[in-house]
Structure 1
Amino acid sequence: MRPTIQSVLLLLCALVALAASRKCEFQGHRCAASGKLTKIYQCNHGRRVSFRCPTGTVCIQSGSSAYCGTDINVQQAPSKPSSSSTKSSSTSTKSSSSSTKSSSSSTKSSSTSTRSAASPSCSVTNVPALKSCSNPYPGVVGDCGWLNYINCHEATTPSSNTKFPPAVCPGTPPTPWSTAGPLSFPANLDGGYGVPLTPAQIYTILSLVWVAENSNGNFAGVVPWYTAYSYIQDIGDGRGYTINLVGFTTATGDFLVFLQHLQALEPCNPLVQYIPDVAALSQSGSSALTGLQGLAQSVVSQGGGPSGAGPINPNYVAATWNTLSDSTTDSAYWYLAMSYSRQYNLSLPISKGQLYDIALNAGISGLESVVLKVTAKAPTAAQSGGAQELAWLSNLQQLWIKQITTGDTSLDGGQPDRGLMWQHLAAPTQSTGKNSAGAYGANNTVPNLQLALPITVNCYGNQITIMSP
């Protein structure tokens, strides 16, 4: 019997109702199974919708963004920044840079990156086809097709800020710029309760986040998490440009906060020109790129060049972490993790890193929600770093793994890999669960509470060794 129009409509209504019943609380986009499957979930006003990546690509999580990609060495779309990624700290093919007159001193210190990112003329036949806005650019960084591709076919117009740069620019931009690398974060970064995190421990935390969000290939060595500073792309998620380590966006307000922090450090930085344009886009929640002509080139120039490993403006780095530490924004992942470490007397690097990873993976509200469910007694100041802190951390990790496997499974596609990785590092004898590939979360046989390197973890079917920088 052939189905009637009425029966088809009834079936469609039922499917819509079923989809609507699947509530979600996460922010941005999530992979159904990061690095393994091809479905991406989006939380739209509390309702989960999904779509699949093109053939030959996989879903890659970065902070609160997810996109379709193919290569671990191609810079990922951070979107807290993830993810990191989205939420997180990620790598992806990058872009070009052209400098403005107002940034002449900065341009000189990064001239190599600027020259390599120049956009040559070419025929239309050389421009790669845009298969999906979320895919990394498949061409050569800075070639004639790059800008149109990362703009997702959105038109850009010149900035409305015609009074930039001002006649007098206070302060002097730092020169020369250092090369972006594994320790490219502020020396005075908040280290949380107790003994502050060392640079090596911060690098390890950022690297663990990176491998969890970009584990779609084998990797061993110094983790290039820093190459995401210069990431910028409109990934077609309705939030305009997604930018930087964790995926600040031009439509949601966090990139505006970043620009304001940058302005406080360097009033005549070429990116400061776009403050009124980004403010207008953020206020309306617009996905348009109106007024953002030249922004992409400046982001790449400021953030380490096309490869992400070239000269990087230290003020750009500082503004990034000032934003991640700004309690007034939805991107305050680092701030919230270190604040909880002080509130609950958590001094172990493994505790601080776990808090930051959950914040990037689930967003601010996600971390707040799981912390509130912890029933283990928090350690006193005298108990910090000892058995009571480990009991509290163990309770947090158990709740988190339960959340991503049986709660809102759209976070990590219901797979426990990311949670088991951290759990095994903290308590290898207690973490007996196996991940999606049937492996333990890490290879340590004794607790690695100080995050000492090297570390070998197993995540989404890949074994990844993190070496000292």
Structure 2
Amino acid sequence: MYGAGSTTTPPTTPPTTPPTTPPTTPPTTPPGGTSADLTDPHKKEIAMELVSSAENSSLDWKSQYTYIEDIGDGRGYTAGIVGFCSGTGDMLDLVRHYTDLKPGNVLAPYLPALEKVNGSASHTGLDPNFEAAWHTAAKDTVFQRAQNDERDRVYFNPAVSQAMSDGLHALGQFAYYDAIVMHGPGDDPTSFGGIRKTAMKKAKTPAQGGNETTYLNAFLDARAAAMKTEEAHSDTSRVDTEQRVFLNNGNLNLNPPLQWKVYGDPYTIND
């Protein structure tokens, strides 16, 4: 997840400019598959299940709204559907957004503490009741909506937009999304932007006239190398026995049925 992977601290104030809307023209369909971008609701659901298999050992991503723990990675609490972290700013932005949608919510009193602990592993001002408050908030559909909104604003929309600009089909769009969730949207070598730059030194994107499979192999190589720089992410099975399997099968459109393994556990999406 982002808090468990990036060394770049995002801004503590949400940007006023919404993320770029992905282009509406899909890339050319490769032979032997039905093309749909990750913005398609069914493909987006597949993407969420794939991420959840790696992050939570379950395809039931919606059960993760209530998830919260300190995983000991130096980034404070990790919580929610994409691992919002108290130490990296995205949890602060999430609770701010929730409070904009629903003033006086159960997490609103923790905003001053979240501002103070941002950039650190500290729980000062959060313990002992923050986890319980998070679980309570997670039952609120407004908080669930807030998590979805921030997932899309910070991670999903920028990743898919960039992938589409690079001429990538659904698998490549997912590879970008999974990377930005874990590594964050920064430009340092182990953040999403840096991983993409490393890949582009090895291969051209389809938009640059390159071969899509060749480029995606270069991207996954760069992603795996970035993961190995941090002990918490040194198991690269979400690349090796998930995304690389789909790529080797030529499934650039990420069409089911899909079979993969993460940490040795098998998963299947049939439709």
Q: Which structure: greater helix fraction?
A: 2
Q: 2:137 aligns with which of 293, 302, 310?
A: 302
Q: TM-score, normalised by structure 1?
A: 0.45
For the residues of structure 2 that align with 1:397 and 1:286, how far apart are their CA atoms?
30
Pair 1:204 & 2:46 matched: yes
Q: 2:113 aligns with which of 274, 277, 284?
A: 277
Q: Tell whether the 8 Å contact from 2:258 to 2:268 is kept in structure 1 after alignment.
A: yes
The secondary structure found in structure 2 opposite 1:270 is coil
Determine which structure has more spread, i.e. the larger CA radius of gyration.
1
Pair 1:232 & 2:68 matched: yes
Q: 2:203 aligns with which of 376, 393, 400?
A: 376
Give 1:455 deviation, angstroms: 1.4
In structure 2, the residue matched to 1:338 is 160
User: 1:250/1:458 Cα in 2 relative to 1: closer, same or farther (>3 Å)?
Assistant: closer
Pair 1:448 & 2:269 matched: no
Q: Tell whether the 8 Å contact from 2:4 to 2:73 is kept in structure 1 after alignment.
A: no
Percent identity (aligned): 24
Give 1:260 deviation, angstroms: 1.2
For the residues of structure 2 that align with 1:341 and 1:280, how far apart are their CA atoms?
35
RCO (CA 8 Å, sep 6+): is it higher in 1 or 2? 2
Amino acid at match of 1:288: H
The number of residue pairs the alignment matches comes to 240
User: 1:352/1:264 Cα in 2 relative to 1: closer, same or farther (>3 Å)?
Assistant: same
Q: What are structure 1's unaligned runs of at least 5 residues?
A: 1-62, 65-78, 83-188, 305-311, 327-331, 429-446
Q: Tell whether the 8 Å contact from 2:107 to 2:134 is kept in structure 1 after alignment.
A: yes
Q: Tell whether the 8 Å contact from 1:190 to 1:338 is kept in structure 2 after alignment.
A: no
- Map 1:30-429; keep pairs closer than 5 Å: 63-64=1-2, 79-80=3-4, 192-193=22-23, 194-195=25-26, 196=37, 197-215=39-57, 223-282=59-118, 285=120, 287-290=122-125, 294-304=129-139, 312-313=140-141, 315-326=142-153, 332-346=154-168, 348-365=169-186, 366-373=191-198, 374=200, 375-380=202-207, 388-401=211-224, 404=227, 408=229, 410=231, 412-413=233-234, 415-420=235-240, 421-428=242-249
In structure 1, the residue matched to 2:16 is none
For the residues of structure 2 that align with 1:448 and 1:458, how far apart are their CA atoms?
16
Give 1:317 deviation, angstroms: 2.5
Q: Tell whether the 8 Å contact from 2:5 to 2:230 is kept in structure 1 after alignment.
A: no
For the residues of structure 2 that align with 1:256 and 1:231, how far apart are their CA atoms?
16
Q: TM-score, normalised by structure 2?
A: 0.72
Q: What are structure 2's unaligned runs of at least 5 residues?
A: 7-18, 27-36
For the residues of structure 1 that align with 2:108 and 2:143, how far apart are their CA atoms?
11
In structure 1, the residue matched to 2:32 is none
Q: Which structure: greater strand fraction?
A: 1
For the residues of structure 1 that align with 2:179 and 2:109, how far apart are their CA atoms?
34
Q: CA RMSD in A?
A: 3.3
The secondary structure found in structure 2 opposite 1:364 is coil
